[in-house]
A = this chain, B = another copy of it.
Amino acid sequence: MTIESTVATLGPGTFRSPLNLRQIDDAVDDGGFVVEGTRVRFDVEINPDHPDSDLLFEKAGARELLYFNPATVRAAIVTCGGLCPGLNNVIRSTVFALHHNYGVRQVYGIRYGYQGMNPAEGEPPMLLEAEQIDRIHQEGGSILGSSRGNQPPAVMVDFLVKHGINILFTVGGDGTQRGAHQIVEEIRRRGLTIAVAGIPKTIDNDIQYIRRTFGFTTAVDKAREVLTCAHTEAKGYPNGIGLVKLMGRDSGFIAAAAALASQDANFVLIPEIPLTLAGDNGFLAALQRRILDRKHALIAVAEGAGQNLFSGEKIKDASGNLLHQDIGLFLKDVISRHFKEQQIPLNLKYIDPSYIIRSVPANSEDAVLCDQFARNAVHAAMAGKTDFIVGFWNSFTLLPILMATAKRQQVQPNGFLWRSVISATGQPARWG
By a beta-carbon cutoff of 8 Å, the part of chain A in contact with chain B is: 20-22, 24-32, 35, 37-50, 53, 56, 59, 61-62, 83, 89, 92-93, 96-97, 100-101, 112, 115, 122-123, 135, 137-142, 145-147, 217, 220-221, 224-226, 228-230, 232-233, 235-238, 242, 257-258, 260-263, 347, 349-356, 359-360, 363-365, 367-368, 371-372, 375, 394-396, 412-420, 423-424, 426, 429
A135 to B263, CA, bound (A): 9
Which B residues are in CB contact (< 8 Å) with A413? Answer: 29
Besides the known contacts A20-B429, A140-B229, A242-B355, 13 further A-B residue pairs in the complex with CB atoms under 8 A apart? A29-B413, A31-B412, A35-B47, A35-B48, A35-B49, A96-B423, A97-B423, A145-B238, A221-B363, A221-B364, A229-B360, A230-B359, A260-B368
Contact A412 B359 (CB under 8 A): no
A47–B27 CB distance below 8 A: yes
Query: Contacts of A139 on B, CB cut-off 8 Å?
Result: 135, 138, 232
Q: Which residue of B lies closest to A240 (CB)?
A: B145
Which B residues are in CB contact (< 8 Å) with A56? Answer: 46
Residue of B nearest to A364 (CB): B261
A272 to B122, CA, bound (A): 40
Contacts of A50 in B (CB 8 A): 25-27
Please give the distance in Å from A89's CB to the nearest CB on chain B: 8
The answer on a CB contact under 8 Å between B27 and A45 is yes
Identical chains bound together, number: 4
Tell which of B61, B146, B365, B416 touches A396, judged by Cβ atoms closer than 8 Å. Answer: B416
Q: Is the CB of A364 within 8 A of B257?
A: yes
Q: Is there contact, CB below 8 Å, between B44 and A394?
A: yes
Is there contact, CB below 8 Å, between A236 and B83? yes
Are the CB atoms of A236 and B364 closer together than 8 Å? no
Contacting residues, chain B, for A24 (C-beta < 8 A): 414
Chain B: minimal CB distance from A214 (Å): 12
Taking a contact as CB atoms under 8 Å apart, the answer to whether B41 and A235 are in contact is no
A38 near B47 with CB under 8 A, answer yes
Chain B proximity of A148: nearest CB distance (Å): 9
Q: 10 closest A-B pairs (Cβ-Cβ)?
A: A31-B419, A141-B232, A261-B364, A261-B367, A232-B359, A229-B359, A44-B394, A31-B416, A25-B50, A39-B46
Please, how many angstroms separate the alpha-carbon atoms of A367 and B424 in the complex?
A: 12
CA distance A417 to B375 in the complex (A): 12
Complex: A28 Cα to B116 Cα, angstroms: 40
Residues of B within 8 A of A364 (CB): 217, 220-221, 224, 257-258, 261
Most buried by B among A115, A235, A372: A235
CA distance A185 to B79 in the complex (A): 57
Inter-chain CA distance A291–B80, complex, in Å, is 21
Return chain B residues, CB-CB under 8 Å to A20: 429
Interface-centre pick from A32, A43, A356 (highest chain B CB count, 10 A): A356
Chain B residues with CB below 8 A from A46, complex form:
38-41, 56
B237 and A146 form a contact (CB under 8 A): yes
Q: How far is the CB of A272 from chain B (nearest CB, A)?
A: 12
**Alpha-carbon separation in the docked complex, A332 to B423 (Å):** 41
B44 touches A40 (CB 8 A): yes
Residue contact A260 to B367, C-beta cutoff 8 Å:
yes
- CB neighbours (8 Å) of A415 from chain B are 28-31
- Partner of A45 from B59, B229, B237 at Cβ < 8 Å: B59
